[in-house]
Amino acid sequence: MNKHNQELIDINDLKNLLFYRWEKGWIEINLSKSIKRSINGNYESPYTFFINTTKYQDELMDLIDLYENKAYRELIFCEHIDRLIEIISESMEINSLHAALLLIQDLLIQREDYRKDSKIHSGELYRDGLEVMEYLFDVLNHIAGYHEKQLSQQELANEEIQGKIYPHVVLALEGVGAFFEMKDAENRPMDYLHRIMFRLFVSKLIFTFYLLE
């Protein structure tokens, strides 16, 4: 965004979008689970990121201890989320924005795990993906200037103003035809399609499906 001298999105935006849509108490619980999984040394590990336990285990153990002995409604991991992002960034040798996305994705996947039937699906691979998709759409809407926390409805309705301030966003979906071929998938295909069509804030909805062999 050289013309307007601004980034498309930054870490503060990612955190604000997370805290806007999901309750902080739940985020705190799942951040703790992510960090505990990152240092337990057993078969369980975070879904999306890696932490250098040789370098950071003592620091993370101190945070876990603070969490285990925290006061009611006190937020330990949420208050240290910037440091967690920094640790992931250094451990994986990636930039901070990438690390923040991986951390957020990890705790959203844990939320998806709550909805699966553990009697049928004991592994962690079965999940509907809807929480991650919801957050992805929040990020896309924010980049395009459509997120409800950004503008009033009057401003959202003014396409001329909106078009001058924010970039256009194109969402490319690969293998959409597979949605219509999913079997024994409960209602997931329709859940996906409904969110794609209605979750994104658009005034003129145009969908073209290319089904490639």
- pLDDT tens, position by position, 1-20: 556 666 788 999 999 999 99
| Same domain flag for 211 and 160 | yes
DSSP 144: H
| Same domain flag for 135 and 108 | no
How many whole angstroms separate alpha carbon 176 and alpha carbon 89?
A: 33
In the structure, what pLDDT confidence band is assigned to residue 211 with cuts at 50, 70 and 90? very low
* Domain extent for 141: 129-213
Instruction: Determine the pLDDT at residue 184.
Output: 53
How many whole angstroms separate alpha carbon 124 and alpha carbon 118?
A: 10
Q: What is the mean pLDDT of the chain?
A: 78
| Same domain flag for 66 and 168 | no
Whether residue 29 has pLDDT greater than 60: yes
**How many domains, the chain?**
2
| Same domain flag for 144 and 203 | yes
User: pTM score, two decimals?
Assistant: 0.77
Residue 36: Cβ within 10 Å count: 15
| Same domain flag for 120 and 16 | yes
Residue 126: strand, helix, or coil: coil
Query: What tokens does 11 get?
Result: 């870490």
- 128, 156, 183: which is the final residue of a domain? 128
- 77, 110, 128: which is the final residue of a domain? 128
| Same domain flag for 4 and 107 | yes
Instruction: Determine the pLDDT at residue 52.
Output: 92
How many whole angstroms separate alpha carbon 91 and alpha carbon 69?
A: 27
- 128, 144, 166: which is the final residue of a domain? 128
| Same domain flag for 73 and 13 | yes
| Same domain flag for 100 and 182 | no
Instruction: Determine the pLDDT at residue 66.
Output: 94
Q: Which of 205, 173, 211 is nearest to 192 (CA)?
A: 173
